[in-house]
Amino acid sequence: MAIGQAAEAKLAAFLAGPVMLVASVADPAARAATIGRVMGVRRAPPASLDLFIAGGQWTRMVESVRVGQALALTLCRPATYQTLQLKGPVTALVRADPAGAAVAHGYAEVTGAHLGALGVDASQMRPWLRTDDLVQVTFTPQEAFEQTPGPHAGSPMAFG
Amino acid sequence: MSVRLRQILDCFEGVIPSVIATVDADGTPNVSYLSQVWFVDDEHVALSNQFFSKTAANVAATGQATVLVVDGRTGAQYMLDLAWVRSEAAGDLFDRMAAHLEAISTVHGTEQVMQLRSAEVYRVRICSPVPGNPIQLPEEQAHARGDRLPAAARLAGEIAAETDADAMIQRLLDGLGEAFGYEHAMVLVPELQADRLITLASRGYHAGGAGAETPMGRGAVGIAAKTGRAVRLCDMSRGRRLARAVESQAELDEGRTIPLPGLAEPQSQLAAPMLVQGQVSGVLFAEASERFRFGREDEQILSLLGAQLAASLRLAELEARSARAAAAAPAAPAQAQRSFQVRHYAFDDSVFIDGDYVIKGVPGRLLAHFLRQHLADGRRTFTNREIRLDASLRLPELKDNLETRLILLRRRLDERAGPVRLARPGRGVIELVLDGAPSLETVAA
């Protein structure tokens, strides 16, 4: 099952511009959630996304993630706080290859420039944009949720 | 390695959004941004329950949450493992959070105030730094020095030693600059019937702004006045432009207002209520163009000084009531040739001198009253006592604050440097100082 046309269109719009990305998977041992920042997204046809995560930084998440496990990805536009959350199973897990690393570096550059334009210091954003020890997590979104702060946050988007 | 929450207080200012992740009973995660995590004590934080329905459901199922907080100054990140403890829908923590959220949403121009349903209190099991954090630089902030309590006590003592209300206000403003380096500060008082606050005095602005207005319930000053709680903003870059748009559309009649002094691009603001007997009698306000200019300690210092000033002003008010005029001052020799025209509009008590707006509301009514009396019988000297008793002035709102209105009027007239001024030859006595011969026209409502 894909996320539907409306959500797909929204996802495409988010991926076209500067976006902050955070992901979570469960740490099954602790029944708790882990958090990691995602350094870029690449389409993995037909309906999956490759996510790049600095493995040395988000260790608990990278140690917890398994193929078949559910993953949540939240995309947020820093200038407007418009937010979209996708959920679906992890389908593959590998160390990022050079092409993947290039996606992550490009993401860090574009995002850094955008945050800079919003008034964030370069030194301040450095910890959020690390691209060392990159891991590539592929997942297939199956659900999409409107998450922009406000009364509609959390409502599922129409499937179609 | 677990970090003490007290060491990372700059993560709890709401500058950089936090991230909260939870899992449901089946292990499906949910992750969303969170505008602010509140510091409660070294072992607890609080989250606002506003819209996070999935998060709330997951916490109800598992009792746990994971939160990523970010230091708004350095960008350093910390992961908090949280265990839910309780939900508070009233009390000090709840009120503090509600006031802050309201200030944020009005300053950021959010039309809909985000209603706080509850403060969710969590125990912090582990607070660990995320690898890649910057090396912490030694604290350079002036407000981290440890010698500020004695300075605050000294300044409070100096205010308490003054007997004249205007001198108290001036001592406070001077002291904020000398002892704490606050370059831009104001004292404002509420005009309850008009739902606004009026600037009494300021320091560090191009224009003094006595008589300038700001709406109740909006921005740091308006929320501090409405809630009786201090409001502190550390990084206003996000909402500044929006805030400006809100200000410009406020329903103010341009010809009858004085521009509010203020920095063009403030980054930090602090507003503390002046509380006396549980009532807000005014607001102390400070702002700066640097981020993180005011810390928690500044909030405490300004609140303490606000309470001292409020109490001292109340005492001065009570003393001025009983003061009687000294022997009527001899009429000043008529040295004035020039004449000037004063117009008083009864509907809002606004007063214009030679066509220029001076003041409105209670101070406007007082000014018109002084001039009317002077034109009727040549008097120049008035006492607080007779003003209070004069039924024609209809001043029920002056029960406790005639002094501050007179200060406001006097400062406004001084700042205008026009043909009318007020002098205070003695406690509880007001003298009309005229440079020219006034004519007064009252325009009925």
- For residue B150, give the CATH number of its domain: 3.30.450.40
Q: For residue B54, tell me if it sits in a domain.
A: yes
pLDDT digits 0-9 by tens, A45-64: 999 999 999 999 999 999 99
A14 touches chain B (CB under 8 A): no
Residues B119 and B247 in one domain: no
Question: Could you tell me how many CB contacts below 8 A there are between chain A and chain B?
Answer: 128
DSSP for residue A78: T
How much is the pLDDT for B140? 47
pLDDT digits 0-9 by tens, B186-230: 999 998 676 889 999 999 998 888 999 898 888 899 999 999 999
Contacts of B336 (CB under 8 A, 6+ apart): B434, B435, B436, B437
Q: What are the chain B neighbours of A59 within 8 Å (beta carbons)?
A: 131
Q: What are the chain B neighbours of A23 within 8 Å (beta carbons)?
A: 31
B134 touches chain A (CB under 8 A): yes
Residues B63 and B20 in one domain: yes
How much is the pLDDT for B244? 43
Rounded Cα distance, B20 and B58, in Å: 11
> What confidence tier does B116 reach under pLDDT thresholds 50, 70, 90?
confident
Q: For residue B175, tell me if it sits in a domain.
A: yes
The answer to whether the CB of B209 falls within 8 A of the CB of B202 is: yes
Contacts of B384 (CB under 8 A, 6+ apart): B320, B321, B323, B402, B403, B406, B428, B429, B430
Residues B269 and B379 in one domain: no
Domain holding B16: CATH number? 2.30.110.10
Q: Which of B90, B112, B91 is nearest to B101 (CA)?
A: B112
Q: What are the chain A neighbours of B133 within 8 Å (beta carbons)?
A: 127
Residues B213 and B261 in one domain: yes
Does B310 score more than 90 pLDDT? yes
Q: Who among A58, A70, A128 is closest to B75 (CB)? A: A128
The answer to whether the CB atoms of A87 and B28 lie below 8 A apart is: yes
Task: Using the CB atoms, write b or e for B349-367: b if 16+ within 10 Å.
Answer: bbbbbeeebbbbbbbbbbb
Q: What are the chain A neighbours of B115 within 8 Å (beta carbons)?
A: none
Q: Who among B17, B35, B131 is closest to A57 (CB)? A: B131
Q: Are strands A36-37 and A20-27 parallel, antiparallel or unpaired?
A: antiparallel
How much is the pLDDT for B246? 39
Domain holding B405: CATH number? 1.10.10
- Among B74, B94, B129, give the residue marking a domain's end: B129
Q: For residue B135, tell me if it sits in a domain.
A: no
Residues B94 and B156 in one domain: no
The answer to whether the CB atoms of A31 and B30 lie below 8 A apart is: no
* ipTM of the complex model: 0.94
Residues B380 and B242 in one domain: no
Q: For residue B178, tell me if it sits in a domain.
A: yes
The answer to whether the CB atoms of A35 and B21 lie below 8 A apart is: yes
Q: Which of B103-117, B160-174, B397-411 has the lowest mean pLDDT?
A: B103-117
Q: What are the chain A neighbours of B21 within 8 Å (beta carbons)?
A: 22, 24, 33-35, 72
Q: For residue B383, tell me if it sits in a domain.
A: yes
> What confidence tier does B243 reach under pLDDT thresholds 50, 70, 90?
very low
B76 touches chain A (CB under 8 A): yes
- Among B129, B158, B193, give the residue marking a domain's end: B129
pLDDT digits 0-9 by tens, B40-81: 999 999 998 765 678 989 999 999 999 999 998 889 999 999
The answer to whether the CB atoms of B68 and A22 lie below 8 A apart is: yes
Contacts of B267 (CB under 8 A, 6+ apart): B234, B235, B236, B237, B288, B289, B290, B291, B293
The answer to whether the CB atoms of A24 and B30 lie below 8 A apart is: yes
Residues B197 and B314 in one domain: yes
Nearest chain A alpha carbon to B66: A33
Q: For residue B331, tell me if it sits in a domain.
A: no
Q: What are the chain B neighbours of A33 within 8 Å (beta carbons)?
A: 21-23, 29-31, 64-66
Residues B310 and B373 in one domain: no
Q: For residue B217, tell me if it sits in a domain.
A: yes
**Best residue of B8, B130, B240, B241 to probe chain A, by most A CBs closer than 10 Å:** B130
Residues B121 and B163 in one domain: no
Rounded Cα distance, B117 and B48, in Å: 8
Question: Chunked in runs of 10, what are the mean pLDDT values of chain A (160 residues)?
Answer: 82 91 92 95 95 96 96 90 92 96 96 88 91 96 81 51
Domain annotation for chain A: domains and CATH numbers: 5-146 (2.30.110.10)
Rounded Cα distance, A149 and B33, in Å: 9
Rounded Cα distance, B374 and B287, in Å: 41
> What confidence tier does B384 reach under pLDDT thresholds 50, 70, 90?
confident
Q: B198 φ, ψ to 5°?
A: -120, 140
Q: Which of A27, A102, A26, A115 is nearest to B17 (CA)?
A: A115
DSSP for residue B142: G
**Best residue of A21, A35, A132 to probe chain B, by most B CBs closer than 10 Å:** A35
Residue identified by tokens 């996802």 is: A11
Query: Which tops the pLDDT comparison, B191 or B160?
Result: B160
Residues B172 and B309 in one domain: yes
The answer to whether the CB atoms of A22 and B33 lie below 8 A apart is: yes
- Among B68, B95, B129, give the residue marking a domain's end: B129
How much is the pLDDT for A151? 53
Q: What are the residue ranges of helices labelled H in A22-157?
A: 59-64, 98-117, 122-125
Does B112 score more than 70 pLDDT? no
The interface residues of chain A toward chain B in range 47-86, judged by CB-CB distance below 8 A, are: 54, 56-60, 69-74, 76, 81, 83, 85
Residues B60 and B167 in one domain: no
The answer to whether the CB atoms of A130 and B132 lie below 8 A apart is: yes
The C-alpha angle with vertex B79 and arms to B74 and B85, in degrees rounded to 5, equals 125
CA–CA distance from B271 to each of A61, B168, B268 (Å)?
41, 19, 10
Q: For residue B318, tell me if it sits in a domain.
A: yes
DSSP for residue A126: G
Does B250 score more than 60 pLDDT? no
B63 touches chain A (CB under 8 A): no
Range of the domain at B17: 5-129
Residues B191 and B65 in one domain: no
Count of domains forming chain B: 3
